[in-house]
Every structure is written in C-alpha cells, then in structure tokens.
C-alpha cells in the first residue's frame, strides 16, 4: 500500500484497540488445544491461565468437552466451524459466539478462536420472535372478528347497498380501536379516547363535548376492540333512529366501579333519552347490533350485559371484570368532540 511505512508495533496497537472497541476476543491454541495466547478476553475470563489453559477452564467442563471435540475436527479437516455457548455469569445467562479456524504459524499448526458476546443480539431476536407470534395471534383473532361481522351483517341485511354501508362502518370501528391499541404498543386503550374515536363521526359538534363521565379506565387490547364495537352499534343506532337522529342528543356514557361475583369490575352504562317519550325502540331480536351488544361483547370480555328498551329510553349496561382493565391514577380526564 502506498504511503508512509507503518511500524509493526503501531499496527499491533491499533488492532488491539479495534478488538477491544468491538468487544471481540481472540484465542490461539496449539495442536494439543492448549491456550498459547489470548487477547481482549471478557472480565469473566481473566482468571483463565494463559498460556496453559484449556476450553474447560474458560467455559466449564460440560462446554469444554464439546468445544474440544469441535476444534479437533477443525484441526483434522481444516474446515472452519462456529458454535454458541451459554454460561451463567453472576446469575445472568450470557451467550458467546465462537468461530474457529485452523491457522499455520511457520511450521506450527494451531487454532484461532474468535469470541464475540452476542447476548443482546439473541435477546432482541427472542423479543422479536415473541412479538411476531403475538402479532400473528392478534391478526388471526382480528380476522375471525371481521369474518363474523361480515357473516352476521350479511345475514341481517336485505340488499347489497345496505350490507356495504353497515359492514364498512363496523370495519371502521375496528380500525379506530386498532389504531389506539397500536399507538400504545399493544397495551390497550383508555375508555375516554376509545369513546371519542367511535363517536366522532356521528356526534354533532354543535351540542358540545361528548357526554362521558366517571372512570377513564385503561382497557386491554381485547376489551378495547369489543367495547369499541359496542359503542359503535350504540352511536350508529342513535344517529340513525334515536336521539341524535331526532336532533336532541340526550345521551350519556358513564363508567363506575362495581363487582362481578367476587371480582372487582366496572360498569359501562349508556343512557339515551329518545325524542318521543312514548316511543319504544324498534330493535328487533335478530339484528346484528343487538347480538353484538347482548352476546358478542359480554362473552368476549367474560362479563355481563343488559340492554333495556323502554318507552322513550334506551339503556345498555356492560360489566367488565378486572382482568380486562386497569384504573390508573394518571389517566387523562378530559375528552373532546374531535
């Protein structure tokens, strides 16, 4: 290479610093697998005798025997090999990658081992695999929900246009809930924000903020998806047939603590006063909206639901057990229409 000649000592110093910076250790062993030279060993290996040590001295008897067998094959065949070793250091499992190759120094044949700690890399891989499995599981659940919505919506509509309107609305409801879940790194969603997402397309801005009171609980991803579906059915029904459609959106949503059996729970209550005090709502027994409210949602959160249709009033009470929510002290307490 052109340029000013560089002293061997300088090159050696630079290489040592580069190895140290990269966290790479090198070990040279003779043909009897005795350690002749080692550089940049991790602190845990500082007690290993150099020269004269062995793989068993570095990695313990169990790993030592396996490594010696592998290295003997490399010596005999001349084909490089690699392996990984897990060892416990101060109660923590650490993973090292060991790459082995046969080298010749003059007339002497030995082995060069390049040792790199890959604990963090393997940890990230495990986390990523876990996340991918969780994503696959959640995606299958979501697809099952969509399939159920499509089937039930088609069963309870008489025309393609009606089906498309209802199905698109329910898909958008799922999408709104899923956005909140994704934004929270799959931890779930706050009830107030979930309500805002579901109500925003239908709530008249002229009447002020959304009427949501009580506890702003943090719902699990499963509860957020299904409570979102229930809220969608309620608000769409109100905007189509109920209080919002009548120009007098007398609607409230309240969340309070209660019990379900011997378990802590919350009760999410929807109360809607219809414009005509003598009117009884025309929910029919076979509508998908009613199936969602009375069967699908409570079953999915292992809770209970009660839909009451009385003259001039619609009430829906959903009880959710504590496995599906948290009450956080720092939960946001404000909600707006948009």
pLDDT in tens, 87-134: 888 888 889 999 999 998 888 899 999 998 898 988 898 888 887 887
Yes or no: domain 12-117 corresponds to CATH 1.10.1040.50: no
Fold of 122-326: Heat Shock Protein 90 (3.30.565)
Distance, C-alpha 102 to centroid of its chain: 45
- Count how many Cα atoms sit within 13 Å of the Cα of residue 330 in the half-sphere of its side chain: 0
Distances from the Cα of 8 to the Cαs of 3, 12, 16, 45, 253, in angstroms?
A: 15, 6, 12, 28, 79
pLDDT at 337: 39
pLDDT at 318: 98
- The answer to whether the beta carbons of residues 199 and 325 sit under 8 Å apart is no
- The answer to whether the beta carbons of residues 314 and 274 sit under 8 Å apart is yes
Strand pairing report for 325-326 and 108-117 = unpaired
Helices (H), 104-190: 119-155, 160-183
Domain ranges across the chain: 12-117, 122-326
From the list 338, 323, 315, the residue with the least C-alpha distance to 217 is 323
The stretches in the chain having pLDDT less than 50 are: 1, 336-338
Strand pairing report for 304-310 and 189-190 = unpaired
Cα–Cα distance, 10 to 12 (Å, whole number): 5
């Amino acid at each position: 290479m052109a340029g000013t000649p560089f002293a061997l000592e300088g090159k050696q110093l630079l290489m040592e610093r580069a190895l140290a910076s990269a966290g790479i250790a090198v070990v040279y062993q003779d043909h009897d697998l005795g350690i002749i030279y080692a550089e940049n060993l991790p602190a845990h290996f500082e007690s290993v005798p150099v020269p004269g040590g062995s793989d068993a001295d570095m990695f313990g008897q169990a790993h030592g025997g396996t490594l010696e067998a592998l290295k003997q094959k490399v010596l005999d065949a001349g084909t490089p090999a690699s392996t990984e070793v897990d060892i416990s250091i101060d109660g923590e499992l650490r993973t090292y990658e060991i790459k082995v190759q046969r080298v010749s120094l003059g007339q002497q044949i030995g082995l060069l081992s390049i040792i790199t700690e890959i604990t963090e890399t393997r940890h990230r891989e495990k986390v990523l695999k876990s996340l991918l499995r969780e994503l696959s599981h959640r995606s299958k659940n979501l697809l099952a929900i969509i399939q159920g919505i499509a089937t039930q919506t088609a069963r309870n509509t008489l025309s393609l246009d009606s089906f498309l309107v209802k199905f698109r609305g329910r898909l958008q409801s799922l999408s709104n809930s899923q956005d909140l879940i994704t934004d929270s790194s799959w931890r779930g969603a706050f009830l107030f924000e979930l309500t805002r997402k579901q109500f925003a397309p239908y709530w008249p801005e002229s009447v002020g903020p959304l009427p949501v009171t009580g506890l702003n609980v943090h719902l699990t991803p499963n509860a957020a998806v299904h409570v979102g579906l229930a809220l969608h059915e309620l608000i769409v029904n109100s905007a189509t047939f109920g209080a919002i459609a009548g120009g007098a959106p007398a609607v409230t949503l309240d969340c309070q603590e209660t019990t379900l059996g011997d378990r802590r729970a919350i009760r999410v209550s929807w109360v809607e006063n219809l414009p005509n005090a003598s009117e009884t709502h025309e929910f029919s027994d076979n509508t998908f909206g009613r199936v969602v409210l009375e069967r699908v949602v409570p079953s999915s959160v292992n809770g209970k639901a009660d839909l009451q249709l009385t003259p001039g009033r619609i009430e829906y009470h959903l009880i959710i057990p504590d496995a599906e929510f948290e009450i956080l002290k720092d939960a946001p307490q404000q909600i707006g229409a948009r």
